[in-house]
């Protein structure tokens, strides 16, 4: 089992030299005008204790029955992470641990948002572990008496892409798509710039691995270190973000990150196109970690961990047009009561944008859940909940999901009665 070379405070592997930057960002605070606040109520649905997992830091999956699924980075029986379900049973929320990783060939440190197929199977990745030690793609299948079985679909080796990063996308044929934050066929980046991969089921029950794209990093300005969930649009194109890379005309020497599109061709080859290179503060955001969300019109929404007018992170929209994609900065965080450093997937409902900022809010910087609403020529932020460490949680690193009634669900990295993180609901 091999651990990532470097990890930021979310546990995600990052290039050398950025850890001090993140620490400075997390500590700094700036006083700005207080945002609007809603009369919402937060309820903790589960408090992690460690034996059931700890440090949940990714977005939850909500199925059609209203059950919530997620992963914890570590904790569980072998302190290697868990997969959990939180479900409403006779007006009481009940948590079940579906799988506790052993930290060996079965994987170590589950990563990203889970994906579910039509048969109720769950798919995800681990950042390390597996037969070769560099991460896995796994499936969890439900069985009788609530027992779930784990199957390793692929183990990554150092010779190709490794350290898978972000949730998987699933197409109608049952193929899985994902990213690795390292590896690939170029030495432009230390340990490789990362890849986009595809796993296809075969008639013999095995899975076929294909590398759809190798990022070239600063040599081609196409991006490097993809670190977020992949999504499909209605036409079958894949979209994601890279932590660094892109245009070097402004910002960091290695680029401030990109949003990219992968389009399938008639021969099965995929073509990558950078649809936006981030410029950093104050023009727009920098270091996008979570991936993108798409609306019915094909517009893409995402967050950056830093950058924006206040250099405390941003929410952006990318809109397609005849002359390419246009970025609109919807909101720049101040680092004060409005939040700071979002690194989460966004949710959309009735034209509004919902998300979480890992820091900011109160004087301790425990984070907030926010809502952005279009207002005239701009957008207005509403803070729906400010976290206070105990007992409601701290650092809502993962994104949020909504139910049909508009209730919001998410997780916090720490806090709660057990001090190991929470799953929460916010209702108006």
What is the reported pLDDT for 2? 38
Mean pLDDT on 32-57: 82
User: Which tens digits make up the pLDDT trace of 138-163?
Assistant: 999 999 988 999 999 999 998 789 99
In a domain, 260, yes or no: yes
Is residue 39 scored above 60 in pLDDT? Answer: yes
Distance CA 56, CA 114 (A): 12
Check residue 349 and give left, alpha or beta (phi > 0: left; psi -120 to 50: alpha): beta
Range of the domain at 150: 54-356
Give the Cα separation of 34 and 31 in Å (integer): 9
Q: Is residue 167, in this structure, part of any structural domain at all?
A: yes
Is residue 18 scored above 60 in pLDDT? no
The reply to whether 368 falls in a domain is: no
Question: What counts of helices (H) and strands (E) characterise the chain?
Answer: 1, 33
Q: What is the pLDDT of residue 35?
A: 58
Q: Does 69 have pLDDT greater than 80?
A: yes
Q: What's the first-to-final CA gap in the chain, in angstroms?
A: 45
Arithmetic mean of pLDDT, 283-287? 89
Give yes or no for a contact between 392 and 5, defined as CB atoms under 8 angstroms apart.
no
The total number of structural domains that make up the chain: 1
pLDDT for position 254: 59
246-270 pLDDT, tens digit each: 876 544 455 889 999 999 998 889 9
Residue 9 lies in a domain: no
What does the pLDDT average to over 346-373? Answer: 96
Considering the domain boundaries, does residue 392 fall inside one?
Answer: no
User: What distance lies between CA 114 and its chain's CA centroid?
Assistant: 10
Q: Is the pLDDT of residue 22 over 50?
A: no
**CATH number of the domain encompassing residue 242:** 2.120.10.30
Q: Is the pTM of this model over 0.85?
A: yes
User: Counting Cβ atoms within 10 Å, is residue 97 exposed (0-12), middle (13-18) or buried (19+)?
Assistant: middle
**69-75: average pLDDT:** 97
pLDDT at 125 over 90: yes
The answer to the question of residue 62 being in a domain is: yes
**Would 19 be classed as within a structural domain?**
no
Beta strand residue intervals within 222-366, DSSP E: 224-226, 231-232, 238-244, 258-264, 270-277, 285-286, 293-294, 300-304, 306-307, 314-321, 324-332, 347-349, 352-357
What per-residue confidence (pLDDT) applies to 349?
Answer: 96
Mean of pLDDT values over 53-70:
96
Query: Residue 377's pLDDT is what?
Result: 82
Residue 372 counted as domain residue: no
Residue 289: exposure state from Cβ atoms within 10 A (0-12, 13-18, ≥19): buried
Residue, of 181 and 37, whose pLDDT is higher: 181
Cα-Cα-Cα-Cα dihedral sign, residues 121, 122, 125, 130: negative
pLDDT at 160: 82
């Amino acid at each position: 089992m091999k651990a990532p070379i470097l990890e930021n405070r979310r546990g995600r592997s990052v290039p050398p030299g950025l850890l001090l930057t993140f620490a400075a960002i997390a500590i700094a605070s700036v006083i700005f005008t207080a945002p609007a606040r809603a009369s919402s109520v937060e309820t903790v649905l589960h408090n992690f204790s460690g034996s059931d997992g700890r440090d949940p830091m990714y977005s939850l999956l909500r199925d059609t029955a209203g059950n919530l699924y997620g992963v914890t980075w570590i904790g569980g029986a072998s302190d290697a992470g868990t997969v959990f379900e939180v479900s409403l049973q006779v007006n009481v929320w009940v948590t079940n641990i579906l799988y506790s990783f052993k930290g060996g060939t079965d994987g170590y440190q589950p990563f990203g948002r889970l994906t579910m197929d039509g048969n109720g199977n769950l798919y995800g990745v681990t950042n390390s572990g597996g037969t070769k030690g560099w991460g896995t793609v796994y499936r969890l299948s439900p069985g009788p008496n609530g027992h779930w079985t784990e199957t390793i679909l692929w183990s990554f080796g150092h010779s190709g892409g490794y350290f898978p990063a972000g949730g998987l996308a699933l197409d109608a044929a049952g193929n899985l798509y994902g990213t690795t934050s390292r590896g690939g066929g170029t030495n432009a980046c230390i340990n490789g710039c990362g890849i986009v991969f595809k796993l296809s089921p075969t008639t013999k029950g095995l899975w076929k691995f294909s590398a759809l794209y190798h990022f070239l990093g600063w040599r081609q300005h196409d991006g490097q270190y993809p670190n977020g969930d992949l999504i499909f649009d209605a036409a079958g194109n894949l979209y994601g973000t890279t932590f660094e890379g892109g245009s070097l005309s402004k910002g960091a020497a290695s680029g401030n990150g990109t949003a990219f599109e992968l389009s399938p061709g008639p021969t099965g080859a995929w073509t990558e196109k950078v649809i936006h290179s981030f410029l950093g503060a104050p023009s727009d955001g920098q270091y996008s970690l979570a991936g993108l969300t798409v609306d019915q019109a094909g517009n893409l929404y995402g967050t950056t961990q830093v950058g924006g007018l206040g250099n405390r992170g941003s929410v952006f929209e990318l809109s397609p047009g005849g002359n390419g994609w246009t970025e609109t900065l919807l909101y720049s965080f101040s680092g004060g009561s409005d939040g700071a450093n979002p690194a989460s997937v966004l949710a959309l409902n009735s034209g509004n944008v919902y998300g979480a900022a890992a820091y900011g809010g109160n004087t301790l910087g425990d984070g907030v859940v926010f809502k952005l609403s279009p207002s005239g020529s701009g957008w207005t932020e509403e803070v729906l909940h400010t976290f206070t460490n105990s007992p409601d949680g701290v650092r809502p690193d993962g994104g949020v999901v909504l139910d049909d009634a508009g209730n919001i669900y998410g997780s916090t990295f720490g806090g709660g009665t057990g001090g190991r993180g929470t799953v929460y609901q916010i209702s108006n």
